[in-house]
Amino acid sequence: MSLLHFVVLAPFIMAIFMPFFYYKFRSVHTGWFLLPLPLILFIYIATYIPINGGGLEPVEHTVPWVPSLGINFSVYLDGLSLLFGLLITGIGTLVVLYSIFYIKNKVDEPLNNFYVYLLMFMGAMLGVVFSDNLIVLYVFWELTSLSSALLIAYWFHKEKSRYGAQKSMLITVSGGFAMLAGFSLLYVIAGSTFSIREIIAQADVVVQDPLILPAMLLILLGAFTKSAQFPFHIWLPDAMEAPTPVSAYLHSATMVKAGIYLVARMTPVFGLTVEWFWIVLIFGLVTLTWGSISAVRQTDLKGILAFSTVSQLGLIMSLLGMGSAALHFDYVETEAIYYTAIMAAVFHLINHATFKGALFMVVGIIDHETGTRDVRKLGGLMAIMPITFTVSLIGLAAMAGLPPFNGFLSKELFFTASLNVASLDIFNLETLGFFIPVVAWIASVFTFVYSMMIFTRTFTGEFKPENYKEDVHEAPIGLLISPIILASLVIIFGLFPNILAYTLIEPTMQSILPGLTSVGEQFYVNIYHWHGINTELLMTIAVVLIGLAIALNLKKWQESYFFQRERDPLNAVYDLGLDQLVVQAQNVTNMQMTGRLRDYLLYMAVFISGIMLWTFFRYDAFAIDFSNELAVPFYVILVVAALLASTLALPFISHRITNIVLLGVVGFLIALLFVIFRAPDLALTQLLVETVMVVLFLLTYRHLPEITKEAKNIWSTSMKAIVSAAVGGAVILTGLSVHALNQGTDITPISDYFIENSKTLAGGYNMVNVILVDFRGLDTLLEVLVLAIAALGVVTLIKHKMKEGEDV
């Protein structure tokens, strides 16, 4: 275990102590106890930043977990995981600080739950970005989905919270399952290894495999659901029911970027295929456009930000798609054309976390102070909340892509990358490439429009006190600290972007595009504002002009049909699917679950005899050999005859007590057979079980109706006769064939092993018991568990009877 392992595990360990802090120090806000942890982790991870600009030496530590299956808890720190680790802990610190002031320490506020979930998320997310093993990554990945759902449903008394939590859970977890399947395929393709390092090392071979396409699609499904890419983005707007610190943390800065992380992590492998380029690029662009257009028609501030996040995630995704083309070229320092996209993606990832985090916190403040997030009610807050206003102005300007903020720089780089990629001469880009900059430009216009919309409708206009339940004033300083820090970062990164260049961006590019530069060589990263008058600048100017024109005329458009549909139309598909899932599942269940015991027995009998007979036919295993049978003693024949007689008599007796007694006779005769064949343990068990069973039968007897003559149905009667005959036939055939097979071959029976070893290995002479408690102890344990569950089921069914019309 290295320190890096503890970085991942620390939040989980801390989570154990949260309830203690909550109950012991009830008057102190629980968040204060938690606050130091992400800060310390942030500082620790920050020590890995290469400050002298010499590149980052990756660190790897491995702890075996299930080595026989290739599953090891390996932590791996390179540029990409360093960047994400800093984001998770850095934004985490600010969010925890913010949440201390946002969620009040009321008597019935379950703060312990909140912080346990938050810590669980933090640990899981760190686990995702630091794991080198795909299975470990998957486990942490699902944990982030789980903790996200728990946090969305934190105010679970609200119906919408529960709906949003369920939706996010269903969508992200089903994507996660697909991803697990993809990982398994990758394991097969890459020759039994789950290590990302090793898979990347043999990427050239891996992409030749015919299974690479399904593996890629499945893994992308996981990434796209997590990162809210079209058409899976519908869960993100509904996730906004979570408390705002959660929205700022999970649903804009970190968790939704897990998909981005995975795509970036997998680029060295899948980026070598054409499909990857087109799929990631097109999904990214569609999401970018759809998100920005949908954002314009929202009326809830958090709704706007949610769709804006969707759109920005699409932007980063499309940049990663474009950037994968760089893997097809050799690195030349002067030709930044190929890798600009990756640089832009990494840079925008950082920028988005800063400005969107600030904006979410600001919206939280507005919600907190005014009691509403509806832009139709808000207005004129500029004078009342000056600090909040300043922070949001910075954030909005960065989001809209205006200089001198960091958003402008990454937006310019995005335009450059899209222009570059359109001019490449691979992948049919010479014919299809032109649409990429066009789409990018259109989406940017809408991004500008919704940024303007938040600005004008919240801060300008007329302040109407009658719209608010509370007395509106500036937020307390505690709430403002975190957004102010983030806004300062927006400005700092905007003015001095190159402090990030060789500390974070270049190492990250190295991990997304490994092997492009020779050893010791570095990508050339230099981000600056003024490039002269070029296409990108003209595009930005056009965005601003047209965006302004649209934003100023937005009032007129709001009457149109398009703006009346606030909810995403894709939600209808999801809702219908969910309803139908329940209905169809019920139909399928009702088809087989008739509620009649005889039907279930029929299923079992048909299945068992069917599979047995099929196996016999398949392997041509019929062998009947009477040649050297043993002489059967007379008393055995007598016992068997009695057994047969009592069994055959059963169907013809219509009196229940007689039936029960007769069944008991059958059981005792079988016990006698066990005695004859020298199986004392079996005989004892059989006798005791029979005794207990007869008592049970007699007890239930009074609940059963008289046996009535049923109307004879020739079909069902002959059906039952056939099935009974088949079961009997299959059993006899198996017995005879096994007997015949035993004669001619020298297969040693499995019992020999137990006979030899039960004394030496387990210290017991009674083989049956030794098998039960030692050799097959787990079987026994689980059988007993089944017994216990069955007994509890009986108790529940009898003691808690359902009333009329009640359902489970």
Q: Could you tell me the smallest distance in angstroms from the CB atom of residue 769 to another protein?
A: 4
Burial environment of residue 518 by CB neighbours within 10 A (0 to 12, 13 to 18, 19 or more): exposed
Quick one: angle between helices 212-226 and 274-296, nearest 10? 20
Task: Give the count of residues interacting with another protein (CB under 8 A).
Answer: 40
- Considering only the stretches 103-111, 355-363, 736-744, 793-801, report the one whose residues sit in contact with another protein under the rule CB under 8 A: 793-801
Q: Could you tell me the smallest distance in angstroms from the CB atom of residue 66 to another protein?
A: 13
Contacts of 393 (CB under 8 A, 6+ apart): 455, 459
Let me know: does 606 contact 721? Beta carbons within 8 Å: no
Contacts of 100 (CB under 8 A, 6+ apart): 29, 31, 32, 35, 478
DSSP string, 66-86: EGGGTEEEEEEE-HHHHHHHH
63 binds another protein (CB under 8 A): no
Q: Which of 78, 552, 792, 803 binds another protein (CB under 8 A)?
A: 792
Q: Could you tell me the smallest distance in angstroms from the CB atom of residue 571 to another protein?
A: 45
Q: Could you tell me the smallest distance in angstroms from the CB atom of residue 2 to another protein?
A: 22
Contacts of 43 (CB under 8 A, 6+ apart): none
Interior angle at CA 387, CA 381 and CA 393, nearest 5: 75
Residue ranges of alpha helices (H) inside 131-243 are 134-152, 159-189, 196-201, 203-206, 212-226, 235-238
If the CB atoms of residues 645 and 684 are measured against another protein, the closer one turns out to be: 684
Q: Could you tell me the smallest distance in angstroms from the CB atom of residue 227 to another protein?
A: 39
Q: Could you tell me the smallest distance in angstroms from the CB atom of residue 643 to another protein?
A: 22
Contacting another protein within 324-363 (CB under 8 A): none
If the CB atoms of residues 519 and 699 are measured against another protein, the closer one turns out to be: 699
Q: Which of 631, 648, 798, 802 binds another protein (CB under 8 A)?
A: 798
Q: Could you tell me the smallest distance in angstroms from the CB atom of residue 762 to another protein?
A: 6
If the CB atoms of residues 588 and 688 are measured against another protein, the closer one turns out to be: 688
Q: Could you tell me the smallest distance in angstroms from the CB atom of residue 766 to another protein?
A: 5
Which residue shows structure tokens 């009074």? Answer: 702
Which residue shows structure tokens 């300062």? Answer: 488
If the CB atoms of residues 703 and 709 are measured against another protein, the closer one turns out to be: 703
If the CB atoms of residues 498 and 769 are measured against another protein, the closer one turns out to be: 769
Q: Could you tell me the smallest distance in angstroms from the CB atom of residue 142 to another protein?
A: 24
Positive or negative torsion for Cα 162, 165, 168, 170 = negative
If the CB atoms of residues 587 and 769 are measured against another protein, the closer one turns out to be: 769
Q: Encode burial over 342-352: b for 16+ CB neighbours within 10 A, e otherwise.
A: bbbbbbbbbbb
Q: E strand or H helix at 540, and its extent?
A: helix 535-552
- Considering only the stretches 114-122, 290-298, 383-391, 791-799, report the one whose residues sit in contact with another protein under the rule CB under 8 A: 791-799
Contacting another protein within 381-400 (CB under 8 A): none
**Which amino acid, residue 20?**
F
- Considering only the stretches 431-439, 524-532, 563-571, 794-802, report the one whose residues sit in contact with another protein under the rule CB under 8 A: 794-802
> Could you tell me which of 47, 52, 79 has the C-alpha nearest to residue 342?
79
Contacting another protein within 755-774 (CB under 8 A): 762-766, 768-770, 772-774
Q: What's the CA gap between 600 and 419, in Å, rounded?
A: 66
Q: Could you tell me the smallest distance in angstroms from the CB atom of residue 117 to another protein?
A: 29
Q: Could you tell me the smallest distance in angstroms from the CB atom of residue 678 to another protein?
A: 11
Tokens of residue 198, six digits: 């090793």
CA 220 to chain centre: 13
Q: Could you tell me the smallest distance in angstroms from the CB atom of residue 194 to another protein?
A: 23
554 binds another protein (CB under 8 A): no
Q: Which of 604, 641, 707, 794 binds another protein (CB under 8 A)?
A: 794
Q: Which of 106, 596, 801, 803 binds another protein (CB under 8 A)?
A: 801
Let me know: does 454 contact 373? Beta carbons within 8 Å: no
Contacts of 404 (CB under 8 A, 6+ apart): 491, 494, 495, 529
If the CB atoms of residues 645 and 792 are measured against another protein, the closer one turns out to be: 792
Q: Could you tell me the smallest distance in angstroms from the CB atom of residue 488 to another protein?
A: 52
If the CB atoms of residues 651 and 777 are measured against another protein, the closer one turns out to be: 777
Q: What's the CA gap between 742 and 750, in Å, rounded?
A: 13
Q: Could you tell me the smallest distance in angstroms from the CB atom of residue 25 to another protein?
A: 33
Which residue shows structure tokens 């934004």? Answer: 91
Three-state DSSP at 426 gives coil
791 binds another protein (CB under 8 A): yes
If the CB atoms of residues 274 and 787 are measured against another protein, the closer one turns out to be: 787
Q: What's the CA gap between 749 and 734, in Å, rounded?
A: 16
- Considering only the stretches 4-12, 431-439, 542-550, 786-794, report the one whose residues sit in contact with another protein under the rule CB under 8 A: 786-794
Let me know: does 268 contact 200? Beta carbons within 8 Å: yes
If the CB atoms of residues 573 and 795 are measured against another protein, the closer one turns out to be: 795
Q: What's the CA gap between 194 and 174, in Å, rounded?
A: 21
If the CB atoms of residues 542 and 795 are measured against another protein, the closer one turns out to be: 795
Q: Could you tell me the smallest distance in angstroms from the CB atom of residue 765 to another protein?
A: 4
Q: What's the CA gap between 17 and 10, in Å, rounded?
A: 11
Contacts of 137 (CB under 8 A, 6+ apart): 127, 128, 131, 196
Q: Could you tell me the smallest distance in angstroms from the CB atom of residue 8 to another protein?
A: 23
In sequence order, what are the beta bridge partners of 75? 61, 131
If the CB atoms of residues 712 and 801 are measured against another protein, the closer one turns out to be: 801
> Could you tell me which of 130, 127, 126, 124 has the C-alpha nearest to residue 143?
124
Q: Could you tell me the smallest distance in angstroms from the CB atom of residue 783 to another protein?
A: 9
Contacting another protein within 678-737 (CB under 8 A): 680-681, 684-685, 688-689, 691-692, 695-696, 699-700, 703
787 binds another protein (CB under 8 A): yes
If the CB atoms of residues 177 and 775 are measured against another protein, the closer one turns out to be: 775
If the CB atoms of residues 719 and 787 are measured against another protein, the closer one turns out to be: 787
Contacts of 160 (CB under 8 A, 6+ apart): 238, 241
795 binds another protein (CB under 8 A): yes
Positive or negative torsion for Cα 550, 553, 557, 558 = positive
Tokens of residue 253, six digits: 């800065």
If the CB atoms of residues 393 and 661 are measured against another protein, the closer one turns out to be: 661
If the CB atoms of residues 142 and 690 are measured against another protein, the closer one turns out to be: 690
Q: Which of 556, 596, 799, 803 binds another protein (CB under 8 A)?
A: 799
If the CB atoms of residues 393 and 694 are measured against another protein, the closer one turns out to be: 694
Quick one: angle between helices 36-46 and 3-24, nearest 10? 170
Let me know: does 35 contact 96? Beta carbons within 8 Å: yes
597 binds another protein (CB under 8 A): no
> What are the residues binding another protein (CB under 8 A)?
680-681, 684-685, 688-689, 691-692, 695-696, 699-700, 703, 762-766, 768-770, 772-774, 777-778, 780-781, 784-785, 787-788, 790-792, 794-795, 798-799, 801
